[in-house]
Amino acid sequence: MANPTTTQDAPEVFATQEAMIEVEDDAHAQAGAHAEPELLGLAPFQWVSIAMVVLLLIAFLGAKVHKTIAGGLDSKIAAIKGNLEEAKQLRAEAEALREEYAAKIAGAEKDAEAMLDNARREADGIVAKAEEDTAAMIARRERMVQDKIAAAERQALADLRARAADASTAAAAQLIETNHDAAADKALADDVIARI
């Protein structure tokens, strides 16, 4: 059986966050301060810094790395300058080409305008010539029609005269035949002979 005094004297413990933090703080306090390793009074990060400085000094002074780095940088600078010069030259060439094509476009526009003006003048000339030719053809046709009409009128008049002459001759012959007898013919013949 358990000792009743120990269970009654012991405080009842509840696990809370505050209790855990107290326990951890007590553990740290009991362990004491942590001692950093040192060599000749310098901490490890100081020794690393000194080693880096010494290494860089050896690299720059002993191996003349700085000259190599400077030479590399100078070559890079020269390459960049060369690229810039080339870019300037390409830009100048592009500007010249642009101006050349702009001049060609302007020339082409002037040529197109001149061609359009020539085409308009030629079209006006063709229209004027066509109007003249049409007017001349109409005048010729009118003359031909008038000539045909005049010829038809003359032919109609000639036919009419011929018919009138035939009709008057036939009428005169009929009148003579009905109104003249042998005695009238003899008197007429005597009159004609007397006139001769």
pLDDT tens across 162-176, in order? 888 888 888 877 877
On whether the pTM is more than 0.75, the answer is no
Token digits of residue 184: 């009238």
Residues in the chain: 196
pLDDT of residue 32: 52
Kindly state the tokens that stand for 159. 């036919």
Distance CA 60, CA 55 (A): 9
Q: Is the separation of the CB atoms in 66 and 60 below 8 Å?
A: yes
Q: Tens of pLDDT along the chain (196 residues)?
A: 445 444 555 555 555 555 555 555 555 555 555 567 777 877 888 889 999 998 888 776 766 666 777 788 889 999 999 999 999 999 999 999 999 999 998 888 889 899 999 999 999 999 999 999 999 999 999 999 999 999 988 888 888 888 888 888 888 778 777 776 777 777 778 888 888 7
User: How many whole angstroms separate alpha carbon 9 and alpha carbon 64?
Assistant: 79
Distance CA(76)–CA(69), nearest Å, equals 10
Cβ pair 77, 70 in contact under 8 A: no
Q: Which residues lie closer than 8 Å to 65 by C-beta, 6 or more apart?
A: 59
Domain ranges for the chain: 53-195
Strands (E), the chain: none
In degrees, rounded to 5, the angle at the alpha carbon of residue 37 between the alpha carbons of residues 33 and 41 is 110
